[in-house]
Amino acid sequence: MDKKRNIYWNGLIPEELRDLLSNTGSQLTQEDTERDSSMFKFGTGETSNISLEHVDWSKIDSSPQAFINKDLFEWDIPKLIFKRFFAGEGSLGPEEGYKSILLKSNTLKIIDGNAIGYYSDIITAAASELKINPVRVRNFTVTLLTYLDYLKRSDLVSFPIEIDYGLSQDSFFLQVHCENNGVFLENIVDSAKEESINPFDGLVRESLAKTDLLELYTLKSTNKLVITGCWIGNPKYIRNKFYSSLLIHQIDSFQKPISSSGKVVESQPFFNQVLPDLSKISIVEQLPEKYILKENNKQLVNPMLVKRIGQHILKKWEGSNITEIPPDYNSHTLKKDIEDFPGKEMIARLNQSEEVEILKVLKEGLNVLERDIEEVKRQIKPDDYLEGILSSLERVRPEDVLGVGGKLEESQTISGSREDLTEESQRISGSRKDLTEESQTISGSREDLTEESQRINGSREDLTEESQRINGSREDLTEESQRISGSREDLTEESQRINGSREDLTEESQKNTGSSEDLTESVQLIKGENNKEDKTTIKGEANPEKQKVVKIGGNKEALKNEVWDLKRLEVAAKIKEKVSNLQTSSLDNVEIDQYVKSIIVEELGVDQGTSEKLVKALSDNLTNEFVNNGLESANENIKQRIQIEKIQNQLSIRDKQVQKMKALIEGLKKDLAQAKNVQEVSRLKTVESNTDEVEINIHESTHSSVNEESFEELKGKNIEFERELQKIKNENHKLTTDNQLLMRKLKEGIDEVNGIKDSDEDAWVLKQQNENLNAQIEALKKRLSFMYENSKNNKEVSLGVNEVQKLIEDKERFFAEKMKAMEEITTLKADVRERERLLKQKDLDFIKEVEKIKNNPVVDENGSMEAKEKEKENEALKVGLKQLADELKATQLKTKSYEQKVKFLNVQLEKFQARPSNSDSTSASNVDPIMASKLKQSATINARLKDAADKLKNELTDKKAELHKVKQESRAMDLKMKDLEKKLATILKKTAA
């Protein structure tokens, strides 16, 4: 339940109620504001019999209803029931709230509906301890439980029912609750109405009659339906009025389409039908489509148009002395009456809802409509309002202007007008500087007298306008063109006007004629010319279409036109001056009207009344434009949508047809197949059986003929079906393409409505930026909400607009910084690349120069001498190196040979040593001397060889060392060479430079 509520109390507010409400946070009012859907309506019911028809059932879903006998507030249990209700906290366990007062309380559980009588007796017995009429209690219980059992059989409610009842000192209560599967308000309403056929209807009504207070509500969180009844047992409570009190809240209605204004959709078929059997109710989860379509496809009404047509017709009737709308007046007769309305295109485009509104106006008068129009005017922004007035100034006919106040016809004024030209030019220039919008359009054309002269003469468009006006033909497309031009350039903000003007010339004719009517009604003088119009003329050349439409008529009364233009200029300029002076303060449309009136009075010398009329006509004009521009696009959208829905329906129908055809074809195919089989079987039989060929032949022929016929028929049918299928498919295809086209048109229409012309690039850019910012905001919001969800502890995260803005600013800042950094990086990269390139070039140059130096003869003498010496030394060293290397190799070979010899000798020695050991025992004396000598010889040879080898080794090492040294020296010499070469190069450069 909601906690804070506004309670509307109808009648005297009892003191007890105030006490009750003091702690609960609910407020009492005595105003019945229909709009506040959260309001409760309580009434004290002064009638003798309350009936459930007093209940505004349509509103219970959104706001509870109660009809309370104020005497009830004295007693304890009703007080608690109300307290629980007002405070918004309900407990199914009454003992918690009623602790202090209950003397006794019990609970019962009922699981099926078979023992209702027994339990109701128990309850009655408990209630009879107080002086309460037991019949009332018993009847209440029985009817209520029967009703619940009845609901259970339709599965709207589940048992077990839980019953709590209790006694206090003065009163007795009974609370019943059970699981709610699908009880809606409508079920209770049906049971509450008086006229019903079904004997089970009316149970709630009877229950109401038997108790002193009935409370009905549902709990949505746990799906419970709760019904409470209360009886007062104190003898002081006298039921004078024989009605009970009723409190209903929080029961859903399954007619959900409550529109945004809080009003329930008007058509409620449920209430008008007589339900035969509750058990056959199917609960509608969704709205049937037609209700949605009705809501969304309602066409929009232009109140100005309605007003004008209404006035037109009323005038007519005044003329023919009709005071009231005739009883059989319908849209048909309306159309006849309108036939002479100037502005036939307007009438042709009247839609149904507008006709309805017109009929309303004719019945009821213009007052309500005036209110609507005032509201619409309020919606127009002051800037646009001002511009609208100025633009509609131009459309006043000079006839009317010049008819009153003959001063203008004097030629003096014409001459004066020339002088005024300069003034005007000045004025124009002056005024244009003030307002930025205008500055855009004016591009250097100020100082061209020629153009101004055009203005004086009236631009082509001006002339034609007036010429045609003089001719008296009202249905001028030229006027439209001007309006188009006038209106277009006035505003960069209001896309509506621009769009409206662009698309339909016919519309504008309607606007025109309507406005001209306004102005004829009030004879006015208007002077001056609309500066903006000038701009528009300059710019208006952009629209060739309109120019084509322009008829250039004769310049019969060019003079008059001139005067007219001048005066208009003056007035308009003055208005703008005043406005610009006051632009610091916020302008109200009403204030603008005041200023315009005063200026008109000054300039044209007319009285207040006429100026008022003029101003009113001007403002009506601009509201008409304003509304039309908005409505047209919306109406078109709606029409397109309706078309699309129709086509979709058709498509679905076609699809169904196609499916049916397919099914038929399949059936036929099966038959064909069967026929074929039968045919084959019969042929086989004929082949097999040879007895009676004639018969068989006949059989075959007839059978085959039959088969063939049927086969052919089937074929033919098949072909036909296929053809039809193809047709349907083609149509299907066409419908889909049409559908697509319409969708595209819809999108285009929507785009046009939303978009702004390319010529106004600034606005487009602004819009883009706006969209970007919006997208950023949304992204940030999403991020923040995600973060919020994740962090449980941040209970107070509330995204204010400021924070979001900060985030956006931060983002922008970071973005800017990022851009800067990117730029820096690119520049750095470029630098790096350049440097690398330079380096490479330098390397190449160096190499080239080095080569040059090497190849070319050395110029400098000193350097050349040194170089030559160095070269000689180098060569000598190299030669030395080679010699040493050769010697090395030679010595190595020698050592190798010596080593081999040594090995060979060693082997021999071993052999010799071995022999004497073996042959020692036999003949040692004879052999000894020879062997001994030989041994000695070999030993000495060995020793010499070793010495030689040692010497050679030493020589080797020495040579190696020498080699090493020489190599080092050669390296050093190379380095020196290089240094000298570099020096050479520098010296060469110096000499060259």
Nearer to another protein, 249 or 527 (CB): 249
- The beta strand positions in 708-856, using DSSP E, are none
- In the bound complex, what is the minimum distance in angstroms from residue 110's beta carbon to another protein? 9
Residue in 164, 166, 158 with CA at minimum distance from that of residue 113: 158
From 5-13, 92-100, 403-411, 660-668, give the range in contact with another protein by CB under 8 A. Answer: 92-100
Residue labelled with tokens 């131009």:
394
From 215-223, 348-356, 463-471, 506-514, give the range in contact with another protein by CB under 8 A. Answer: 215-223
From 43-51, 217-225, 873-881, 936-944, give the range in contact with another protein by CB under 8 A. Answer: 217-225
From 130-138, 219-227, 272-280, 372-380, give the range in contact with another protein by CB under 8 A. Answer: 219-227
Site for another protein in 774-803 (CB under 8 A): 789-790, 792
Rounded Cα–Cα distance for residues 350 and 922 (Å): 159
**Of residues 13, 28, 219, 642, which one binds another protein by CB under 8 A?**
219
**Of residues 111, 930, 975, 993, which one binds another protein by CB under 8 A?**
111
Residue labelled with tokens 């109620």:
17
**Of residues 12, 47, 115, 737, which one binds another protein by CB under 8 A?**
115
Burial letters for 156-189: b for 16+ Cβ neighbours within 10 Å, e otherwise? bbebebbbbbbbbebbbbbbbbbebebbbbbbbb
Rounded Cα–Cα distance for residues 496 and 491 (Å): 10
From 12-20, 112-120, 524-532, 956-964, give the range in contact with another protein by CB under 8 A. Answer: 112-120
Rule CB under 8 A: is residue 162 a binding residue for another protein? yes
Nearer to another protein, 163 or 428 (CB): 163
- In the bound complex, what is the minimum distance in angstroms from residue 18's beta carbon to another protein? 27
Pair 566, 471: CB distance under 8 Å: no
User: With 0-12 CB in 10 A as exposed, 13-18 as middle and 19+ as buried, what is 191?
Assistant: buried
**Of residues 114, 584, 918, 991, which one binds another protein by CB under 8 A?**
114
Nearer to another protein, 116 or 563 (CB): 116
Nearer to another protein, 162 or 462 (CB): 162
State the helix-helix crossing angle for 367-379 and 608-688, rounded to 10 degrees: 90
Q: How many CA atoms lie within 13 A of 93 on its CB side?
A: 3
**Of residues 77, 102, 389, 596, which one binds another protein by CB under 8 A?**
102
Q: Quick check: helix, strand or coil at residue 228? A: strand
**Of residues 105, 168, 531, 621, which one binds another protein by CB under 8 A?**
105
Query: Long-range contacts made by residues 451-455, C-beta under 8 angstroms, separation at least 24?
Result: 451/538, 452/421, 452/424, 452/425, 453/421, 455/529, 455/534, 455/537, 455/565
**Of residues 22, 221, 691, 923, which one binds another protein by CB under 8 A?**
221
Rule CB under 8 A: is residue 222 a binding residue for another protein? yes
- How many residues belong to the chain? 993
Rounded Cα–Cα distance for residues 572 and 600 (Å): 9
Q: How is residue 358 written in tokens?
A: 């017109």
Q: How many residues bind another protein (CB under 8 A)?
A: 42
Site for another protein in 60-89 (CB under 8 A): 89
Burial letters for 363-389: b for 16+ Cβ neighbours within 10 Å, e otherwise? eeeeeebeebbeebbeebebbbbbbbb
Nearer to another protein, 28 or 784 (CB): 784
Rounded Cα–Cα distance for residues 457 and 593 (Å): 30
Parallel, antiparallel, or unpaired: how do β-strands 245-249 and 213-219 relate? parallel
- Lay out the site mask for another protein across 140-159 (x = CB under 8 A, - = otherwise): ---------------x--xx
Max alpha carbon distance in the chain (Å)? 187
- In the bound complex, what is the minimum distance in angstroms from residue 206's beta carbon to another protein? 24
- In the bound complex, what is the minimum distance in angstroms from residue 793's beta carbon to another protein? 9
- In the bound complex, what is the minimum distance in angstroms from residue 65's beta carbon to another protein? 22
Q: DSSP readout, 512-553?
A: HHHHHHHHHHS-----B--HHHHHHHHHHTT-HHHHHH----
**Of residues 166, 310, 540, 630, which one binds another protein by CB under 8 A?**
166
Rule CB under 8 A: is residue 90 a binding residue for another protein? yes
Nearer to another protein, 228 or 524 (CB): 228
From 172-180, 202-210, 298-306, 634-642, give the range in contact with another protein by CB under 8 A. Answer: 172-180
Rule CB under 8 A: is residue 99 a binding residue for another protein? yes
Q: DSSP readout, 653-693?
A: HHHHHHHHHHHHHHHHHHHHHHHHHHHHHHHHHHHH--S-H
- In the bound complex, what is the minimum distance in angstroms from residue 119's beta carbon to another protein? 8
- Lay out the site mask for another protein across 809-828 (x = CB under 8 A, - = otherwise): --------------------
Nearer to another protein, 166 or 303 (CB): 166
Nearer to another protein, 159 or 711 (CB): 159
Phi/psi at 59 (5° precision) = -105, -5
**Of residues 136, 205, 224, 344, which one binds another protein by CB under 8 A?**
224
- The CA angle 454-455-456, to the nearest 5 degrees, is 90
Rule CB under 8 A: is residue 109 a binding residue for another protein? yes
- In the bound complex, what is the minimum distance in angstroms from residue 99's beta carbon to another protein? 5
Nearer to another protein, 221 or 412 (CB): 221
Rounded Cα–Cα distance for residues 378 and 952 (Å): 126
Phi/psi at 157 (5° precision) = -145, 145
Nearer to another protein, 93 or 554 (CB): 93
From 94-102, 476-484, 917-925, 927-935, give the range in contact with another protein by CB under 8 A. Answer: 94-102
Q: Quick check: helix, strand or coil at residue 110? A: strand
Rule CB under 8 A: is residue 95 a binding residue for another protein? yes
Beta bridge partners of 179: 158, 224
Q: Quick check: helix, strand or coil at residue 2? A: coil
Beta bridge partners of 226: 177, 217
**Of residues 28, 122, 664, 742, which one binds another protein by CB under 8 A?**
122
Rule CB under 8 A: is residue 106 a binding residue for another protein? yes
Rule CB under 8 A: is residue 164 a binding residue for another protein? yes
From 115-123, 709-717, 757-765, 934-942, give the range in contact with another protein by CB under 8 A. Answer: 115-123
State the helix-helix crossing angle for 608-688 and 382-393, rounded to 10 degrees: 100
Rule CB under 8 A: is residue 119 a binding residue for another protein? yes
Is the C-alpha dihedral spanning 436, 441, 446, 452 positive or negative?
negative
- In the bound complex, what is the minimum distance in angstroms from residue 640's beta carbon to another protein? 41
- In the bound complex, what is the minimum distance in angstroms from residue 97's beta carbon to another protein? 9
- In the bound complex, what is the minimum distance in angstroms from residue 164's beta carbon to another protein? 7
Task: Report the chain's C-alpha Rg in angstroms.
Answer: 56
Rule CB under 8 A: is residue 179 a binding residue for another protein? yes
Nearer to another protein, 787 or 832 (CB): 787
**Of residues 6, 14, 28, 108, which one binds another protein by CB under 8 A?**
108
- In the bound complex, what is the minimum distance in angstroms from residue 815's beta carbon to another protein? 30
Residues 6+ apart with CB under 8 A from 620: 304, 307, 373, 515, 518
Nearer to another protein, 110 or 491 (CB): 110
- The CA angle 290-650-746, to the nearest 5 degrees, is 75
Residue in 735, 726, 750 with CA at minimum distance from that of residue 648: 735
Rule CB under 8 A: is residue 169 a binding residue for another protein? no
Phi/psi at 245 (5° precision) = -105, 150
Q: Which residues are near another protein by CB under 8 A?
A: 89-93, 95-96, 98-99, 102-109, 111-112, 114-115, 118-119, 122, 155, 158-160, 162, 164, 166, 177-179, 181, 219, 221-222, 224, 789-790, 792
